[in-house]
Structure 1
């Protein structure tokens, strides 16, 4: 029956032209917006986020391109750097200067509070209270008291420490042989780092003496590094700059042994846990591993070396002229007791953890910049001893 009767649609089409009544226009169908259009029309924040993400990606790409350009230029000037060559040790020394000098100077405000609390634990209750009191009494510059000797001292120490570590690690590895090195590599790391730090502290000690006295005398006994050195040598002779050398060795050598040996071990563990090999990861990922390993190593370093760090501060601030080292140590320990040796430890954990993480990140990033492999991970094969 359907074939004999027209449908409503057919009737409307046939008589639409002669109908006396106005025809209702069909409502236009809205085109469904795409996901991209909906994001930009209905949610403007998405558009802003996308723009920010795109700009960040462009800036990142530009930074990587500039880094590669500068790295290629530097490598073309120095030539190909062979591992364990004179150029290699020079590059590692310069990387150590950057890593230690810059980072220690950056955390001078933390170091200032730590040193003053070690000398007088009741002086400040916390960092923010300390910085507030110092800035009100001495101005904002007062928060950075001691930055000059800190920069020069730790630049010298950093260069000798990192460059020396690379040298002694290779020296002791060759001395024991390849097979024994792989068996006892932690012992090699410990011995190499101790040897490097022993030498590095001789360069650090005069600047450390000036720094500690600047930070623990109110107002500071000298305004500049040169002025501080002149004042100490004028009153106590050249030996006055080195009266804290033994406790400095006692603080820094265990610290550095823990810093390098634990870093090498932690980094190796991280790469063993991650899928693939170390070479499968890019520059950013490798430096992130360096920072993580360095931060964890820094926490251990702070705990191991803290009692000696307290003694260094006390000796530089309170040791009497002509007083024997042992007598001074005994007198100070009697005053502060065992508990006093741990004054300021939480602050130092934050400071040293951050410092050590940043130092390894800067050091390894500089090595990448010079076309060298980062520190840690599997030992390189003999056939890969060229960068």
Structure 2
């Protein structure tokens, strides 16, 4: 659903082949693992505020106190499970999205694929994220436990993993609740925002340089990230709460009910500003890295104008 960008790379990769999907998978790994690791300090403050609003007066107070009390290492609490978990998740999410998007388009046929492209984006991204979260979940559980529990934040990933053995997937349902709508919003809004940008630009995408195309990806990614943060934030709060506070004898449903009874609707929005900044930055950087990688290996950037997509 896009044309090849202008690039100095002469290597040709046939679209929708095993090599194509393998490269998209590698691009997703490179886009997600490093970026989530980079913003780990934002995540530490966000998660701690979600679990206990009284810990800090605000985001900047959180940074200051953590750095003063725990040093730079404290701000990067949980960075190892973050890097590993989101590398697996990103690889599966991006590679899976490309696979499911093309597969579902073939299933419904060319005419219907363009007409109902938004539905295809939603279905493809949901399918990919469902699988990606199965790989992410145990690492997310360890990360949150390290970041929000004073008795474990100084322990290694391996030690916390061992302590949580048997309960590493207790947050899978809230994680799906958070991540699937987030990814559906992330990919679908990105595709439609990028399409709208290309429709407004007088120069066809096929005549734009790779730098210009990745610039469009960056802008589209940031705008999509803002929407993603708002859509997924309540579930993100619950994931943090479940991993930090779920009692051994509780079911996930019981824990959700108890926690919601304690924090209420307003509590579901704790840390939203930080999440908007964090997810907006993350999403824009991820699309920039992903599409830059695709250009580097000789693949088209993601998305295109409505006319170009209709012709394909």
Normalised TM-score (structure 2): 0.94
Note if 1:370 corresponds to 2:297: yes
Structure 2 gaps, min length 5: 1-6
Higher relative contact order (CA 8 A, sep 6+): 2
Report the secondary structure of 1:241's partner residue: coil
From 22, 32, 49, give the equivalent of 1:117.
Answer: 49
1:261-302 Cα shifts (integer Å, max 9, x gaps)? 000000000000001210111111111100000000000000
Note if 1:297 corresponds to 2:236: no
Match of 1:271 in 2: 198
1:17-54 Cα shifts (integer Å, max 9, x gaps)? xxxxxxxxxxxxxxxxxxxxxxxxxxxxxxxxxxxxxx
Q: What's the offset of the Cα at 1:381?
A: 5.2
Q: What's the offset of the Cα at 1:127?
A: 2.5
Distance 1:366 1:225 in 2: 30
Q: What's the offset of the Cα at 1:218?
A: 1.5
Match of 2:77 in 1: 145
Match of 1:107 in 2: 39
Structure 1 gaps, min length 5: 1-66, 383-387
Distance 1:313 1:150 in 2: 14
Note if 1:342 corresponds to 2:269: yes
Residues matched between the structures, number: 303
Q: What's the offset of the Cα at 1:209?
A: 0.2
1:1-387 equivalence runs, <5 A:
68=8, 71=9, 75=11, 80-221=12-153, 223-233=155-165, 237=166, 240-377=167-304, 378-379=308-309
Q: What's the offset of the Cα at 1:135?
A: 1.5
Distance 2:259 2:84 in 1: 29
Q: Is contact 1:222–1:228 with CA below 8 Å preserved after alignment? A: no
Larger Rg: 1
Runs of 4 or more consecutive aligned structure 1 residues displaced over 4 Å after TM superposition: none
Q: Is contact 1:315–1:328 with CA below 8 Å preserved after alignment? A: yes
Q: Is contact 2:218–2:287 with CA below 8 Å preserved after alignment? A: yes
Report the secondary structure of 1:379's partner residue: helix
Normalised TM-score (structure 1): 0.76
Report the secondary structure of 1:139's partner residue: helix
Q: Is contact 2:182–2:228 with CA below 8 Å preserved after alignment? A: yes
Q: Is contact 2:77–2:153 with CA below 8 Å preserved after alignment? A: no
Q: Is contact 2:152–2:160 with CA below 8 Å preserved after alignment? A: no
